[in-house]
Structure 1
Amino acid sequence: MRLILLLCCSLAQAGEAVVTIDTTTVIGPVNRLVLGGNLQSEPASEEHSANRGGGIWDPERRAPVPEVMAAVRRAGITSLRYPGGCWAHYWDWRLAVGPVEQRPQRRFGVPEFLTVCAELGVEPIITLPDFLPAAEEAQVFAELAEYLRSPVGRNTTGGADSAALRERDGRREPLPVLRFEYGNETFHGGHHDFGELFAGHLERRTPVEYIQRFHTVRAAMRAVDPAVLIGAVLDNDLSDPWTPWMREVITGVAKDADFLITHLYYPIVADADAAGLPIPAVFRAAFTAPRQMERRLNDLRSLIRSTAGRDVPLAITEFNANFSLREPALRFSLGAAVMSTDLTRMLLEQPHIDCAHYWQTLDSYWGTVATTGPALRVRPAHLTQALLHRHLGSERLACTVACAAIESDGGWGVLPARGTAGDAGPLGAPRPLNGDWTIGTLAGASATVVGDTLRIELHDGGKELDWYQASKIVGVERADRWRITAEVRTQGLHTSGVQLQVGDVRGWEATKSVALSEPVTAAQWTTISVDYLPLHDTTAISVSPRRRAAREAGVIEVRNMQMQPWRERSLGTTPELSVLATRHDAKLTTVVLINRRLDAPLPVRLTGVRARQVTAEVVTGPTVDATNEHGEVVRLVPLSTTKSNDDITLILPPHSVAGVRITLR
């Protein structure tokens, strides 16, 4: 028997939310490309990804898996991204095409991915590798464009006849692949696995190198087919001020790029936060995050427009709540699903968003549907995606919301949301960063302290040295962030320079919490500054000058270190309810209601609609951190409504997403 959710009015708390819908005023179209997803087909060592695409492909039958395809259809996915995030850094598409027998570790290759897209009727987007040798890139990508887009018999690249290879793979006609990303999160460096990423063993690109390569790659692919669209990778850091990568890449590519790319991952909650994690505070911050991202995306649009003289479409090719900690598995929670639905709602309202892709669709660490085991396991985010899909028309309608608000102290990368909106500012004057230097040893380097100045000598220019062996440790009180400044100068470090590094005293391995300033190479005394956002339980910080791994001998001097607590910019209080109203046709309106209230039901009155018939359903669960990992406790159930004159009343469970279907008189 299906569970019927009946919440009587006696449960309702004071503070009814009133939603006024204008069913005659259309404010914009619905861009369904925002409902994209990610499929992972790398690395080759992961059989479930490389051979099965996370469970959507049966390599023995050489066909899609029907029940998994049905789940993707239920979620309303409109676009699929391939081959999978950071695994694309060194991806070689040539190993993922051709006879299946010759690629036993990549049986879910390019032809299979495009078969899935064709059967689902969704648009593919392909992430190009960003760390191939420079001498190979243009030819490799031109041949990919030819494989996908050229008619059989036309070989313009001077290399392999890639269109003929496509025909041998079973597809004679050119394929409907238009969007390509040049890279994935290139700003953090290339890595073959996450061990390399966390250890900092990365191949680096400067913004200038990336810009040069982007233009080369775009020209090579568009020489094959001028219709292809090539996107450039910006930074994921949406904090204020913009990072140098963000500013330099926009300046270098925005006048030519077909679209620009960023990823949205807030709040940032890692394994180091697990002990004593304050669940209500985390989700208050999470429910505030879409407002912060909306504000910064609009700021980013203004920056792009002022730089390029035009609007350049933005692609959000990964987004999610960044609950990366293993336990508790908040990434699979009802609260994470509520937050990601609200984020999708926000993206649907932005005219400059070209497309967006939830990370990720199937299995792996983040999937909305678990495909391993005797039966599919549907997670809360899949339920909310399916609900949104069913209650999304073709045109957005004007509506207003009057309701109470929630407050949040922020944290985990999210700004505070309390009182009235306000700018960031200092909480006190800068004060000396006192305490003795703790100096470790590193072969090929030495450090001494003379008065207030730390002097570091890097003796061996032929040896790669990563210097961070001197630090000061200081206790800190609660603040939104800490600004650390120092004066530095260098000798001989013309390319590597020195940075200021600040992190939780418990260390990188324990907390994954660190901030780095930009490097300074100047020979004269230069003030350097870095802002550090502490974890919720940070009680002390470690401050170090750092010269990241390089082969360059020279001298670093550091003096006059200071620290200052800062109040973050406040978003102001966050409404308990967000709403998306859309029209399917003259007689059918649907409304999605996202309830941010954590601790009590929320009575809602919809007004302004002359309803003939009303049905509603809601995704709900017992707690905001509830998951379906050990049983189906988060469910999609019918929701009771009452219709009176031009009003519809209902009561939303806490931390829930509801859909209301209204047939008009």
Structure 2
Amino acid sequence: MNAAQLILPALCAAALSLGAAMPRITVDAAKPVGPVNPLAFGANIEAADDRGIFDRPFSAPINPHGVAQGEGTWDPAANRPHPGIVRKLREMRIGMLRYPGGCLAHNYNWKQAVGPLSERKDWKFGIDEYIRLCRELDAEPIITMTDYALPAEELPKHMAELVEYLNAPAVPEHPWAMKRAAWGNPEPYRVRYFELGNESNHGSHNLVPRRHYTPEEYAAYFRSCAAAMRKIDPAVQLGIVMEPGTGELHDSPWNRTVLEKAGRAADFIVVHFYAPRIADQTPQEALAAVLAYGDQVELRLKNYRDLARTLTGRELPLAMTEFNIGSTGNKPYPWRFSYLAGLMNADLQRIWLRPENGMLCANYWQVINGYWGSFVSNDKGEITLRRAPVSFIETWGKYTGSELVETGLENIPRREAAAVPGLAISRGERMQSPEAAGEAEPGAVSGKGFPEGISITANGAGEIKIRFDNFDGRSAYPEFAELPRPEHIPQGDAFSYLISFDAKYTPDRPGERPSGAVGLGMVDSRGWEKTASAVSVPGIQAATEWKHFTGKYQVLPDTPGSKVLLRVEGVSAPLAGTAEIRNLKFAVETQPVFPAYRTLTALASRSADGETLYLVVFNKDPENALKAELKLKNFDAFSGSGVVLTGESPETAADTRPRPVTVTPVSGSFVHEFPAASMTALEFRR
């Protein structure tokens, strides 16, 4: 019996009915609610070389697709964007393009990607080529600034010089702007949006030496770089980076600290949502999870805005510069390419467009090529493979006007959903907040399995010492204690551990900064490889005095237990010193329970001339077609047409071609049936 059966025995039988009344969707074409935000149709393009960041060492061969091809958008032989790719991205209505990537930005030095092509060693797709691509797409650029490519003290000048290159007039007091002009671009580019770092809390991966900001260090980086950039161009808009994940941990220690210490210098908040986390679920279990996700996302967005308002006293918009399903593997299915991922992300697009959600932009990860691409192209700019999500993106591009109009929903059936990682239970009629559920006591501390050069001792009074005797292994994750599942938490219910402790690190050589990162963590007792469930509480190596640490581990609903471990990462020189830990506690907290989710959602817009009305509807019941009355107010439509996207196999990665739909409005009101787990896009003309 799986977790869903334990929690909700009749979960999949039928939607929870709100009564016998037919669902109704009312669109009032005379009531605009705001312009369609073109930046909500954003995309990402990786344009950096990933050597040294993940698995490939710096000595590995250059990846031409990372430095010359613009991830398939650029023709280096003709020195221009591929016309066919530009047409496709314009059809998708791509309104913002993020560059040079996500984690690839850690090691990106923009000065290697400017200047005459003949003088560049490798970079044939650089800053100027990226700006040209944006202009051909009529897309707003947003640049991810490096956080770790240079020593921290050099980054403010480095970033200010990029702003000078991009935005300053070509006059002698701006030498980098003079270079831009000499290289063929005399007018400033006027790039407005910059993201300072990318997921900076997790450090620079495998770069040597590895660097890992504490929240305080990132805040200092942000403040100093922001001041330097604004000195060149006060009009730039700068984004401050939150911790990535599922969006549930909006008030994490990282987020609170960087907002408290640097949020007043920010113009927007950068968030990345990868959820729900789908791994070994059945296709129907995975489909049920992603269909419930949208209702929970809107509260998570509000939580980030509320936190920023509390800590900065300002209203800061959200930049969702990466989002997708929370799945990176290929077994049992490559979920990121699946029909259910395309459907979920299409419903999220509706959320990004709603003005009340406070979105500056939303950038899908990824539209073209790369590990996540919705379609694949070759070096000639020809599309060679379409995956399931691509048609959803195209449909939004075709069936969206220029102004949103009021859309009302009544009598919508609701449906319950079981918890999975990144998704709380959807059950009942009201929201239930998390509650304290006691404390858990770990078993005895054991150093069995610790690698050579690291040892651990405990005095029985809650004090732990960890010795590093010239440890020269690159990384280590030894476990030292175990927490069984709390007996009072029913199997199948999700819960969290609130981790807290005090710690400090003393190097053997006074004043020496450790070459790696040291922290504590928790992992599912079944192991990371099987569950991909873990949490890190980093930064001990930077605590030269006693410092309080906190973290939150969201436990899988079916976990039998959890293990406590030491996390040592990115050691590039022998580590010698002592980490001391005291007051290590694990408070148990229940997960929130969301109301049963709405099975029909919709968004309507109209064309600039008011002659065309668009309506996009999602049926998020995984099993049942739903009939609904569609009522068009202040719009006398004489014809209606559209498309519907459905999939018999939610796990399929095959392209889902839309099927045509024809409707005939009768006196502004008619009944339409929406297939189970579908997206329907309608267009009405008068």
TM-score norm. by structure 2 comes to 0.83
Which residue of the partner structure matches residue 601 of structure 1? 625
1:386-418 residue CA offsets vs partner (Å, 9 max, x unmatched): 211222222222222232122111212111111
Pairwise CA RMSD of aligned residues? 3.3
Distance apart, 1:128 and its partner CA: 1.1
**CA–CA distance in structure 2, aligned partners of residues 657 and 618 of structure 1:** 6
**CA–CA distance in structure 1, aligned partners of residues 440 and 266 of structure 2:** 45
Distance apart, 1:88 and its partner CA: 0.6
Distance change in 2, residues 1:222/1:452 (3 Å): closer
**CA–CA distance in structure 1, aligned partners of residues 109 and 518 of structure 2:** 35
Identity of aligned residues (%): 28
**CA–CA distance in structure 1, aligned partners of residues 554 and 601 of structure 2:** 28
Matched, 1:589 2:613: yes
Which residue of the partner structure matches residue 160 of structure 2? 142
Distance change in 2, residues 1:479/1:437 (3 Å): farther
Which residue of the partner structure matches residue 237 of structure 2? 229
Distance apart, 1:454 and its partner CA: 7.0
Which residue of the partner structure matches residue 165 of structure 1? 179
Distance change in 2, residues 1:17/1:354 (3 Å): same
Which residue of the partner structure matches residue 179 of structure 1? 193
Distance change in 2, residues 1:486/1:544 (3 Å): farther
Q: Is the 8 A contact 1:500 1:529 kept in 2?
A: no
Q: Is the 8 A contact 2:375 2:383 kept in 1?
A: no
1:148-186 residue CA offsets vs partner (Å, 9 max, x unmatched): 122223333xxxx32232234322211132211111111
Report the 3-state secondary structure (helix = DSSP H, G, I; strand = E; otherwise coil) of the residue aligned with 2:107: coil
1:116-144 residue CA offsets vs partner (Å, 9 max, x unmatched): 11112111111111112234223322221
Which residue of the partner structure matches residue 109 of structure 2? 92
Matched, 1:378 2:400: no
Which residue of the partner structure matches residue 622 of structure 1? 648
Write out aligned runs for 1:317-466 (5 A).
317-327=321-331, 328-351=333-356, 352-372=358-378, 375-401=383-409, 402-425=411-434, 429-430=438-439, 432-434=441-443, 437=446, 439-448=448-457, 455-458=464-467, 460=469
**CA–CA distance in structure 2, aligned partners of residues 98 and 490 of structure 1:** 47
Q: Is the 8 A contact 1:500 1:530 kept in 2?
A: no
Distance apart, 1:57 and its partner CA: 1.0
Letter in 2 for 1:356: A
Q: Is the 8 A contact 1:432 1:560 kept in 2?
A: no
**CA–CA distance in structure 2, aligned partners of residues 413 and 334 of structure 1:** 19
1:416-437 residue CA offsets vs partner (Å, 9 max, x unmatched): 1111233344596545444774
Distance change in 2, residues 1:639/1:192 (3 Å): farther
Report the 3-state secondary structure (helix = DSSP H, G, I; strand = E; otherwise coil) of the residue aligned with 1:611: coil
- Alignment counterpart, residue 301 of structure 1, candidates 305, 318, 329: 305
TM-score norm. by structure 1 comes to 0.86
Distance apart, 1:378 and its partner CA: 2.6
Which residue of the partner structure matches residue 270 of structure 2? 261
Distance apart, 1:452 and its partner CA: 7.1
Deviates most, 553-562 or 165-174: 553-562
Unaligned 5+ segments in structure 1 are 1-12
Q: Is the 8 A contact 2:518 2:567 kept in 1?
A: yes
**CA–CA distance in structure 1, aligned partners of residues 652 and 241 of structure 2:** 35
**CA–CA distance in structure 1, aligned partners of residues 389 and 598 of structure 2:** 22
Which residue of the partner structure matches residue 561 of structure 2? 540
Q: Is the 8 A contact 1:362 1:370 kept in 2?
A: yes
Matched, 1:502 2:528: no
Report the 3-state secondary structure (helix = DSSP H, G, I; strand = E; otherwise coil) of the residue aligned with 2:72: coil
**CA–CA distance in structure 2, aligned partners of residues 562 and 608 of structure 1:** 55
Report the 3-state secondary structure (helix = DSSP H, G, I; strand = E; otherwise coil) of the residue aligned with 2:71: coil
1:172-201 residue CA offsets vs partner (Å, 9 max, x unmatched): 2111322111111111112357xx9xxxx8
Report the 3-state secondary structure (helix = DSSP H, G, I; strand = E; otherwise coil) of the residue aligned with 1:325: coil
1:584-635 residue CA offsets vs partner (Å, 9 max, x unmatched): 243321111112121232223201444321112122222222222xxx4x11
Unaligned 5+ segments in structure 2 are 1-16, 51-61, 486-490
Q: Is the 8 A contact 1:30 1:348 kept in 2?
A: yes
Distance apart, 1:574 and its partner CA: 0.8
**CA–CA distance in structure 1, aligned partners of residues 503 and 206 of structure 2:** 35
Report the 3-state secondary structure (helix = DSSP H, G, I; strand = E; otherwise coil) of the residue aligned with 1:165: helix
Deviates most, 67-76 or 283-292: 283-292
**CA–CA distance in structure 2, aligned partners of residues 420 and 503 of structure 1:** 33
Aligned length: 631
Distance change in 2, residues 1:483/1:386 (3 Å): same
**CA–CA distance in structure 1, aligned partners of residues 484 and 136 of structure 2:** 58
Q: Is the 8 A contact 2:640 2:684 kept in 1?
A: yes
Distance apart, 1:642 and its partner CA: 4.2
**CA–CA distance in structure 1, aligned partners of residues 460 and 125 of structure 2:** 63
**CA–CA distance in structure 2, aligned partners of residues 560 and 227 of structure 1:** 46
1:299-337 residue CA offsets vs partner (Å, 9 max, x unmatched): 221222233322122211111222212231111112111
Report the 3-state secondary structure (helix = DSSP H, G, I; strand = E; otherwise coil) of the residue aligned with 1:108: coil
Write out aligned runs for 1:445-594 (5 A).
445-448=454-457, 455-458=464-467, 460=469, 469-473=478-482, 475-476=484-485, 477-483=491-497, 492=506, 500-517=520-537, 531-535=552-556, 538-544=559-565, 551=575, 553-554=577-578, 556=580, 564=588, 566-584=589-607, 585-594=609-618
**CA–CA distance in structure 1, aligned partners of residues 156 and 440 of structure 2:** 53
- Alignment counterpart, residue 636 of structure 1, candidates 646, 654, 658: 658
Deviates most, 459-468 or 43-52: 459-468
Letter in 1 for 2:350: R
Distance change in 2, residues 1:212/1:417 (3 Å): same
**CA–CA distance in structure 1, aligned partners of residues 262 and 579 of structure 2:** 36
Distance change in 2, residues 1:505/1:579 (3 Å): same
Distance apart, 1:340 and its partner CA: 0.9
Distance apart, 1:575 and its partner CA: 0.7
Report the 3-state secondary structure (helix = DSSP H, G, I; strand = E; otherwise coil) of the residue aligned with 1:635: coil
Q: Is the 8 A contact 1:640 1:650 kept in 2?
A: no
Which residue of the partner structure matches residue 214 of structure 2? 206
Matched, 1:26 2:22: no
**CA–CA distance in structure 2, aligned partners of residues 32 and 282 of structure 1:** 30
Letter in 2 for 1:262: V
Which residue of the partner structure matches residue 4 of structure 1? none
Q: Is the 8 A contact 2:496 2:591 kept in 1?
A: no
Letter in 1 for 2:595: G
**CA–CA distance in structure 2, aligned partners of residues 28 and 659 of structure 1:** 20
Which residue of the partner structure matches residue 246 of structure 1? 255
**CA–CA distance in structure 2, aligned partners of residues 79 and 22 of structure 1:** 29
Letter in 2 for 1:472: A
Q: Is the 8 A contact 1:368 1:381 kept in 2?
A: yes
1:251-274 residue CA offsets vs partner (Å, 9 max, x unmatched): 2222222222111221123xxx33
Report the 3-state secondary structure (helix = DSSP H, G, I; strand = E; otherwise coil) of the residue aligned with 1:643: coil
Letter in 2 for 1:311: E
- Alignment counterpart, residue 38 of structure 1, candidates 23, 39, 44: 44
Distance change in 2, residues 1:311/1:388 (3 Å): same
**CA–CA distance in structure 2, aligned partners of residues 191 and 442 of structure 1:** 21
Deviates most, 181-190 or 228-237: 228-237
Distance change in 2, residues 1:604/1:231 (3 Å): same
Q: Is the 8 A contact 1:486 1:558 kept in 2?
A: no
Report the 3-state secondary structure (helix = DSSP H, G, I; strand = E; otherwise coil) of the residue aligned with 1:263: strand
**CA–CA distance in structure 2, aligned partners of residues 487 and 427 of structure 1:** 18
Distance change in 2, residues 1:557/1:177 (3 Å): closer
Distance change in 2, residues 1:531/1:302 (3 Å): closer
Distance apart, 1:539 and its partner CA: 3.1
Q: Is the 8 A contact 1:405 1:574 kept in 2?
A: yes
Deviates most, 495-504 or 326-335: 495-504
**CA–CA distance in structure 1, aligned partners of residues 354 and 616 of structure 2:** 13
Q: Is the 8 A contact 1:435 1:474 kept in 2?
A: no
